[in-house]
């Protein structure tokens, strides 16, 4: 009995020891398990912001407006029913007319990140800079906005061998620079058809970028120096009217370089028919049909510019004129622009020289796309190319001192640019000025 009892007690001790060992082992395992647990930091993808949205939060579908597309067709194609489409269109109509979608323009759909991929926002881009958002994720609202714009100051120099256009082309620079120098700044000072070999120039200008990456062309020219036949011609941009935002170009002695009128209402065009009071036309049996305008041939849709500052007195469609605009510039001068595809101004509106007032078309009596430009002096139609047109408004005495002080550092900057170096773009310039959203910002390259 004692042996059995002792054996039983021994077995109990053995069981207790085994349990104690197992418990310790479990405890050790638990401890080790807690020790090896590590925190894993989840790295989120960087934000991809466009149109004010983080595109990472959506399935993004991009396309362009095709023939036959409409706002309703696009949404229905992406599983949105017509009752909802109608409701969205009604809510958005005060901000944007969905019937104005143009073929070829890009749009973006931001869709839910699930198996349904239902559209939550429609974004339409009428041009590179502007966009329209119609958001219907929770509530329906629409608004217009613009992409961030950056203006980068650059410099360029060149020596003329044949033409300024070819000189700029060889440097890989925009032909827009040539146009602005020849037709806007020096149009009445230098005859660019008679440039001499060895003529040279320096120019300080700003290029425009959208979203810091999309090049949108030359914005404006800040200052220029052109040496023609050994004679120097300076040009500096200066705002003479901050209320109407009127800028002109003046030389280093504060003399205005422009005339009151541009030579032509369209860029890069040709004269297809001149002012001719004895013109005979075959379609009318070669009878004399006076042509009291100057026709500038250009592709349909080419912007038509006001040739001088003034107030719109007519903007309508009538008879053989088609869509036309008439502008009174002062008590002496008026201009008229005929056969527009579409007008861009209203009666009573003040326009500045170079403002787009419409687009070239073929409305009214016309055999091809052009703008018929008519010019009045004291109520009589005349040939603008035979007129001694007035100079642009001179700088006021009160502004002259301010102007001369303003151009001092810019003139020094021009003078410091060396012709011997092949300077172009933003090279060899220690500091550039960037204007972002119209706010000047200095930065070092």
In tens, the pLDDT along 331-361 reads 899 999 999 999 999 999 999 888 999 999 9
CA angle 306, 310, 314 (to 5 degrees): 80
Report, as an integer, the average pLDDT of 147-168: 88
Q: Is the domain of 280 the same as that of 373?
A: yes
Report, as an integer, the average pLDDT of 105-130: 94
Query: How many angstroms separate the CA atoms of 369 and 361, rounded?
Result: 5
The per-residue DSSP string of 248-260 comes to EEE-TTS-B-SBS
Q: Identify the pLDDT of residue 61.
A: 96
- Predicted confidence band at 290 (pLDDT cuts at 50, 70, 90)? low
Q: Identify the pLDDT of residue 445.
A: 30
- pLDDT above 90 for 44: no
Q: Is 199 part of any domain? A: yes
Q: Is 22 part of any domain? A: no
Residue 438: left (phi > 0), alpha (psi -120 to 50), or beta? left
Kindly give the residue spans of alpha helices, DSSP state H, lying in 37-130. Answer: 71-77, 82-92
**Which residue has 């002695």 as its token pair?**
253
* Tens digit of each residue's pLDDT (9 = 90 or more) over 167-205: 888 888 888 888 888 878 888 788 787 888 889 999 999
Looking at 122, 146, 170, the residue that finishes a domain is 146
Provide the domain limits for residue 157.
149-258+392-444
- Predicted confidence band at 244 (pLDDT cuts at 50, 70, 90)? confident
Q: Is the domain of 294 the same as that of 330?
A: yes
Looking at 355, 386, 417, the residue that finishes a domain is 386
Q: Is 263 part of any domain? A: no
Q: Identify the pLDDT of residue 262.
A: 85
Q: Identify the pLDDT of residue 361.
A: 94
* C-beta of residue 170 within 8 angstroms of C-beta of residue 160: no
Report, as an integer, the average pLDDT of 48-75: 94
Q: Is the domain of 249 the same as that of 355?
A: no
- Predicted confidence band at 401 (pLDDT cuts at 50, 70, 90)? very high
* C-beta of residue 119 within 8 angstroms of C-beta of residue 80: yes
Report, as an integer, the average pLDDT of 25-45: 57
Report, as an integer, the average pLDDT of 46-55: 89
The CATH number for 207's domain is 3.10.450.350
Q: Is 201 part of any domain? A: yes
Report the chain's C-alpha Rg in angstroms: 35
For 125-170, strand residue ranges (E) read: 130-135, 141-146, 149-159
Q: Is the domain of 293 the same as that of 313?
A: yes
Q: Is the domain of 404 the same as that of 426?
A: yes
Which of 174, 238, 244, 231 minimizes the C-alpha distance to 200? 231
Q: Is the domain of 163 the same as that of 243?
A: yes
Q: Is the domain of 254 the same as that of 158?
A: yes
% of the chain surpassing 90 pLDDT:
46
Q: Is the domain of 275 the same as that of 379?
A: yes
Query: How many angstroms separate the CA atoms of 204 and 221, rounded?
Result: 6
- Measured between its terminal Cα atoms, the distance across the chain in Å is 101
CB atoms inside a 10 Å sphere around CB 354: 16
- pLDDT above 90 for 70: yes
Report, as an integer, the average pLDDT of 260-279: 77
Q: Is the domain of 360 the same as that of 317?
A: yes
Q: Is 1 part of any domain? A: no
Q: Is 311 part of any domain? A: yes
**Number of folded domains in the chain?**
3
Query: How many angstroms separate the CA atoms of 435 and 392, rounded?
Result: 28
> 436: which strand partners?
150, 439
What are the tokens at 162? 């044949």
> 204: which strand partners?
155, 223
What are the tokens at 403? 């102007």
> Of the given ranges (55-59, 197-201, 241-245, 424-428), which has the lowest mean pLDDT?
424-428
Q: What are phi and psi of 239, to 5 degrees?
A: -85, 120
Q: Identify the pLDDT of residue 435.
A: 39
- Predicted confidence band at 259 (pLDDT cuts at 50, 70, 90)? confident
- pLDDT above 90 for 241: no
Q: Is the domain of 194 the same as that of 342?
A: no
User: Which is more confident, 266 or 26?
Assistant: 266
Query: How many angstroms separate the CA atoms of 101 and 104, rounded?
Result: 9
- pLDDT above 90 for 437: no
Q: Is the domain of 158 the same as that of 253?
A: yes
* C-beta of residue 204 within 8 angstroms of C-beta of residue 221: yes
What average pLDDT does the structure give for the chain?
Answer: 82
Q: Is the domain of 295 the same as that of 327?
A: yes
Q: Identify the pLDDT of residue 33.
A: 53
- pLDDT above 60 for 17: no
Q: Is 30 part of any domain? A: no
Q: Identify the pLDDT of residue 422.
A: 44
The per-residue DSSP string of 313-330 comes to EEEEEEGGGEEEEEEE-S
- pLDDT above 80 for 442: no
Sequence-distant (≥ 6) Cβ neighbours of residue 440 within 8 angstroms: 433, 434
Q: Is 396 part of any domain? A: yes
Report, as an integer, the average pLDDT of 145-153: 91
User: Which is more confident, 165 or 407?
Assistant: 407
Report, as an integer, the average pLDDT of 10-22: 53
> 331: which strand partners?
none
Distances (CA, A) of 146 to 50, 102, 163, 177: 11, 18, 37, 25
Q: Identify the pLDDT of residue 391.
A: 76
CA angle 430, 151, 54 (to 5 degrees): 115
């Amino acid at each position: 009995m004692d042996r059995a009892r002792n054996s039983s007690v021994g077995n109990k001790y053995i069981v207790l020891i085994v349990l104690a060992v197992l418990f310790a082992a479990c405890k050790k395992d638990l401890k080790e398990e807690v020790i090896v647990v590590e925190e894993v930091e989840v790295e989120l993808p960087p934000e991809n912001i466009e149109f004010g949205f983080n595109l990472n939060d959506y399935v993004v579908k991009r396309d362009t407006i095709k023939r036959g597309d409409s706002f309703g067709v696009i949404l229905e194609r992406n599983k949105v029913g017509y009752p909802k489409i109608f409701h969205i269109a009604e809510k958005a109509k005060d901000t944007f007319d969905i019937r104005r979608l143009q073929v070829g323009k890009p749009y973006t759909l931001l869709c839910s990140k699930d198996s349904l991929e239902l559209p939550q926002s429609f974004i339409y881009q009428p041009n590179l800079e502007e966009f329209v958002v119609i958001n219907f994720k929770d509530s329906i609202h629409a608004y217009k906005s613009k992409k961030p714009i950056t203006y980068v100051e650059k410099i360029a120099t060149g020596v003329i061998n044949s033409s300024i256009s070819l000189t700029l082309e060889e440097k890989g620079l925009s032909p827009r620079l040539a146009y602005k120098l020849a037709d806007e700044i020096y149009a009445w000072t230098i005859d660019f058809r008679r440039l001499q070999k060895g003529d040279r120039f320096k120019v300080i200008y700003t290029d425009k970028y959208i979203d810091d990456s999309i090049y949108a062309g030359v914005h404006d020219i800040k200052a220029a120096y052109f040496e023609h036949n050994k004679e120097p011609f300076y040009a500096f941009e200066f705002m003479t009217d901050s209320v109407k935002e009127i800028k002109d170009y003046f030389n280093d002695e504060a003399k205005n370089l422009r005339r009151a009128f541009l030579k032509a209402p369209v860029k890069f065009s040709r004269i297809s028919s001149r002012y001719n009071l004895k013109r005979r036309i075959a379609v009318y049996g070669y009878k004399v049909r006076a042509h009291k305008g100057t026709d500038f041939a250009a592709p349909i849709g080419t912007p038509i510019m006001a040739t001088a500052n003034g107030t719109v007195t007519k903007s309508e469609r009538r008879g053989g004129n088609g869509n036309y605009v008439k502008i009174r510039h002062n008590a002496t001068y008026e201009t008229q622009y005929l056969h527009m595809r579409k007008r861009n101004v209203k009666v009573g509106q003040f326009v500045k020289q170079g403002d787009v007032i419409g687009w070239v078309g073929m409305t009214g009596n016309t055999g091809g796309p052009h703008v018929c430009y008519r010019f009045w002096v004291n109520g009589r139609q005349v040939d603008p190319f035979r007129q001694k047109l007035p100079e642009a408004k001179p700088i006021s005495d009160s502004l002259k001192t301010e102007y001369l002080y303003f151009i001092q550092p810019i003139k020094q900057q021009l003078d410091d640019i060396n012709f011997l170096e092949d300077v172009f773009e933003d090279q060899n310039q220690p500091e550039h000025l960037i204007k972002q959203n119209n706010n000047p910002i200095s930065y070092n390259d």
